[in-house]
Amino acid sequence: MTLEQEIKKRRTFGIIAHPDAGKTTLTEKLLLFGGAIQTAGAVKSNKIDMGTRSDWMDIEKQRGISVATSVMGFEYKDLKINILDTPGHEDFAEDTYRTLTAVDSVIMVIDCVKGVEQQTEKLMAVCRMRNTPVICFINKLDREGRDAFDLLDEIEEKLGIKVRPMSWPIGMGKSLRGVYNMYENNLNLYEPNKTKKVTDVVEIKGINDPEIEKHLPESAVATLREEVELVNGVYDELDVDAYKNGDVAPVFFGSAVNNFGIRELLDCFIDLAPAPKARETEERKIEPTESKFTGFIFKIHANMDPKHRNRIAFARVCSGRFLRGSNYFHVRQNKNFRFSNATAFMAQQKETIDEAFPGDIVGLYDTGNLKIGDTLTEGEKGLYKGIPSFSPELFKEVTNLDAMKSKQLEKGLDQLMDEGVAQLFTYEMGSRKVVGTVGALQFEVLQHRLLNEYNAKARFDSVNIYKACWISAADSDKLDAFVKDKYRHIAKDKEGKLVFMAESKAWLQMVQENFPDIDFHYISEF
Ligand code: G4P
């Protein structure tokens, strides 16, 4: 097969959702349809049970599960589908953000009872930054959910994206009778079925086809026709380019746990969702069809074996053909590396692979040379646009508790930051080190891993910081003056970028008003 054909057959995407909306269930059903697994229950949720106090063991369990399900590849209708898993727990949101840099599109799961939830909004904001195409799956139709039109309005309002229903629910909850699949013009009648594939549908010739009346009671038919007329009046026909641009989201309705509405979603997805596209780098645009390999690291999984400090770096192939055992150029370190034991991920198994193509994810065993955002090429020095960091939510100051082990602490912090466990900010004044995380769990991870893997004892004390804001200014003299004025609150991130550590919201606002020439960013890429 030519490189071009290999690229065309790949669909690499992520499933995102607020915890509990049904991401794990949907993933499992997609794998069932793809024939990658045979029975339900095979995909383990990567959730941490917050009902009981989460301790290290929970995190370890989570990590074990999530490496197995980090990438799930399977073949469906001659296509190679790669699903990238995103952690459901919001403390690991940063991981999700990074994973989204490696996908070509996403499916967003929304619970029809709860509607758009907080985490969904945050995730959508990340998709919007990259114009990632989004398909919505409104799940749990077997429950008494909210009115379908209300849900669509909420998606448009809260997620800032236009929608186009591709299927329409016939009833909901106890009165759920099926969905009308507008995309393929058929009816999928509902029977609860948790394990079998339900593929029988009633083909119809449009919404006025009398065939519909043979399968549904009169009142349901009347409501369906009325609602579909309204849908077609309110929402424009699907504009595929607008979808690919991230401006409009096709919407499907179904019930993942009942295996209902999944086939329609998958079939439409493979039709619409983009194959790997060109990627912008700092130097130039890289087309997937270029013969030379390029790729970047978006995730690192460490501690695979506690006795060895080995880790798996997940690389997304962006162009060319990745060949196991070849030498590739590590742009940041300016030297060549050979990756002799690259792995691929099929459903839940890892296997050694000889080659991979744009859209594929390869697992590279690493002993500490790779970090998130790194680029590999066949010699070209052009860098991929880095992976942005967001301002953390929680901040703690690190104190070394064992003066003899300061080197170990430094190395440990350095490597854990490379893995993206947390972010380190070093103050200009006094070299104070402050670690920022999205959630409290990461501090437990840090403390435990520093001690167990690096033999470094550290204490994390709360500090009064509200946000870390990356700063810039059109006029560099003004930036210098600001840094001088606020030197007590200026730190550098791991890349050496200047960050203003704001103590409170009100104070940040005041500083912004007093220094109108300084730009404050909540994200490291601007
Ligand atoms: P997540 O990964 O997004 O966090 O969600 P997950 O798939 O784990 O689903 C969360 C809960 O919602 C699960 O129930 C799951 O069975 C249920 N669920 C998923 N899809 C549907 C659906 O279409 N209808 C209904 N009624 N429920 C659905 P649980 O009680 O937390 O776990 P379990 O014991 O059922 O596995």
176 Cβ below 6 A of ligand 1: no
Rounded distance between C-alpha atoms, residue 111 and residue 140, angstroms: 6
| Residues 6 or more apart whose Cβ sits within 8 Å of residue 55 | 444
| Residue 432 CB less than 6 A away from ligand 1 | no
From 15, 16, 18, 20, give the residue whose CB has the most ligand 1 atoms within 8 Å, as the site to mutate. 20
Report the residue among 16, 31, 113, 257 best suited for mutation to probe ligand 1: largest number of ligand atoms under 8 A from its CB. Answer: 257
Ligand 1 atom nearest to 27, measured from its CA: 7
| Integer Cα distance of 420 and 110 in angstroms | 28
For residue 172, the CA-to-ligand 1 centroid distance in Å is 17
CB of 140 shorter than 6 A to ligand 1: yes
Q: According to the CATH classification, is domain 394-521 in 3.30.70.3280?
A: yes
Give the span between the Cα atoms of 25 and 90, in whole angstroms.
18
**Rounded distance, CA 472 to CA 477, Å?**
11
Q: Which residues of 83-118 are buried (b: 16+ CB within 10 A; e: fewer)?
A: bbbbbbbbbbbbbbbbbbbbbbbbbbbbbbbbbbbe
Task: Report the nearest atom of ligand 1 relative to the CA of 254.
Answer: 23
Structure tokens given for 194: 């948790």
Atom 17 of ligand 1: nearest residue by CA position: 22
Rounded distance between C-alpha atoms, residue 206 and residue 524, angstroms: 50
Ligand 1 and 256: CB distance under 6 A: yes
The CATH architecture annotation of domain 15-70+104-272 reads 3-Layer(aba) Sandwich (3.40)
In 237-330, beta strands by DSSP E: 248-253, 279-280, 285-286, 294-301, 311-319, 322-323, 327-330
Kindly give the confidence (pLDDT) of every residue in the chain, 526 residues in length, as a single tens digit, with 9 standing for 90 and above: 899 999 999 999 999 998 889 998 898 888 888 776 666 565 655 554 444 444 545 555 555 555 555 788 888 999 999 999 887 667 777 888 889 999 999 999 999 999 999 888 888 888 888 899 999 999 999 999 999 999 999 999 999 999 999 999 999 998 888 999 988 888 888 876 544 445 567 888 888 888 888 888 888 999 999 999 999 999 999 999 999 999 999 999 999 998 888 888 999 999 999 999 998 888 888 999 999 999 999 988 876 565 666 788 999 999 999 998 889 999 988 999 888 777 776 655 667 778 899 999 998 888 888 888 899 999 988 766 668 788 898 999 999 999 888 999 999 999 889 888 899 999 988 889 999 998 887 888 888 889 888 899 999 999 999 999 999 999 999 999 999 999 999 999 988 999 999 999 999 999 999 999 999 998 887 6
Q: What is the DSSP letter of 115?
A: B
Q: Is 119 in the pocket of ligand 1 (CB under 6 A)?
A: no
Are 328 and 378 a contacting pair, CB within 8 Å? yes
Q: Hey, do 15-70+104-272 and 279-377 end up sharing a CATH topology, with the first three levels equal?
A: yes
pLDDT value for 10 = 96
**Dist. CA 277–CA 359, nearest whole Å:** 9
305 has which bridge partners? 308
Q: How far is the CA of 167 from the centre of ligand 1 (A)?
A: 21
Nearest atom in ligand 1 to the alpha carbon of residue 46 is 2
**Model pLDDT, residue 197:** 47
Closest CA to 295 of 286, 305, 307: 286
Q: State the virtual CA torsion across 358, 361, 362, 368 in degrees, nearest 10.
A: 120
Q: Could you tell me the distance, in angstroms and rounded to a whole number, from the CA of residue 262 to the centre of ligand 1? A: 15
CA separation (Å) from 322 to 5, 278, 328, 329, 439? 15, 17, 9, 12, 36
The domain limits of the chain are 15-70+104-272, 279-377, 394-521
19 lines ligand 1 (CB under 6 A): yes
Cβ–ligand 1 distance for 143 under 6 Å, the answer: yes
Atom 32 (ligand 1) nearest CA: 20
What is 279-377's CATH number, 3.40.50.300, 2.60.40.10, 3.90.850.10, 3.30.300.30? 3.40.50.300
Q: How far apart are CA 60 and CA 159, in angstroms?
A: 33
